[in-house]
């Protein structure tokens, strides 16, 4: 019969997440911004009010992440599955980037933050596309944190597109099967524009208490630390981010190997 034996105390991870300013800071943090609609419904407001408040919260978290020294902040803004939502809600979501970048780009420039957007941008409404491309153009010379939005993004579609791209190169004779490795494949993904050491998030945060990945960065999070916050995204404030980073700092990242204590 299988029996469960509790871990020894020295391997147990604390449930109190105290952030250490001198501790390690993840270079790439990805966030699934979940719970906008429920935040609004709990206040007897329309769902779109939650999306608006959620976008306002992006501004606060972006500034804090930049000042903490995070190099890439990837935010799951709109998935390929979100088109299934009511038309009025989708239309509102497609207007949000216009309003967001119109007011926030000057602040991003002041913070030296560079905007990037990955996903099926070509399938977005014209006004949304224009807002996205204008923001990227206006911040292209910034050298600080990359604020990377996943907009009309789905990881399975991303991986399939990468597979097709590699297959096409093999068929054309530009790449041999033997040359296909992690680095080559990662170059074909939508995060391929990032430096190799920044492509894979070290920390993935999901808000609202849900504990699933929802088709987000499936290849890239192979060794990411996961943090699930009970707070709805509009309530996920600076203290919540510090708690998530404190949780990260307590993790023992072995990447499939053993640390020194475990080999004794």
Residues identified as active-site: 34, 82
Rounded CA-CA distance 82/46 in Å is 17
- Give phi and psi for 36, each to the nearest 5: -60, -45
Per-residue CA distances from 130 to 43, 124, 126, 138, 231 (Å): 33, 10, 6, 12, 32
Strand partners, 223: none
Q: Taking the mean position of all CA atoms in its chain, how far away is CA 157? A: 17
Strand partners, 32: 76, 206
Contact 92, 127 (CB under 8 A): no
Neighbour tally for 139: CB within 10 Å: 21
């Amino acid at each position: 019969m299988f029996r469960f034996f509790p871990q020894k105390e020295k391997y147990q991870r604390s449930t109190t997440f105290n952030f250490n300013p001198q501790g390690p800071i993840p270079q790439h943090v990805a966030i699934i911004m979940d719970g906008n609609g429920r935040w609004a419904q709990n206040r007897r407001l329309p769902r779109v009010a939650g999306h608006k408040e959620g976008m306002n919260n992006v501004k606060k978290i972006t500034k804090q992440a930049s000042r903490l020294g995070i190099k890439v902040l990837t935010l799951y803004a709109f998935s390929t599955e979100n088109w299934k939502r009511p038309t009025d809600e989708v239309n509102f979501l497609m207007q949000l980037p216009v309003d967001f970048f119109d007011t926030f780009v000057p602040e991003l420039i002041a913070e030296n933050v560079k905007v990037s957007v990955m996903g099926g941008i070509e399938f977005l409404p014209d006004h949304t596309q224009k807002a996205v491309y204008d923001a990227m153009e206006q911040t292209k010379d910034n050298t600080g944190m990359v604020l990377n939005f996943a907009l009309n993004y789905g990881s399975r579609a991303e991986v399939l597109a990468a597979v097709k791209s590699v297959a096409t190169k093999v068929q054309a004779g530009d790449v041999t099967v033997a040359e296909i490795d992690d680095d080559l494949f990662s170059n074909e993904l939508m995060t391929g524009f990032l430096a190799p050491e920044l492509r894979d998030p070290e920390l993935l945060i999901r808000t609202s208490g849900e504990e699933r990945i929802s088709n987000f960065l499936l290849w890239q999070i192979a060794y990411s630390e996961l943090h699930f916050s009970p707070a709805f995204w509009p309530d996920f404030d600076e203290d919540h981010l510090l708690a998530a980073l404190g949780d990260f700092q307590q993790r023992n990242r072995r990447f499939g190997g053993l640390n020194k204590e475990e080999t004794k």
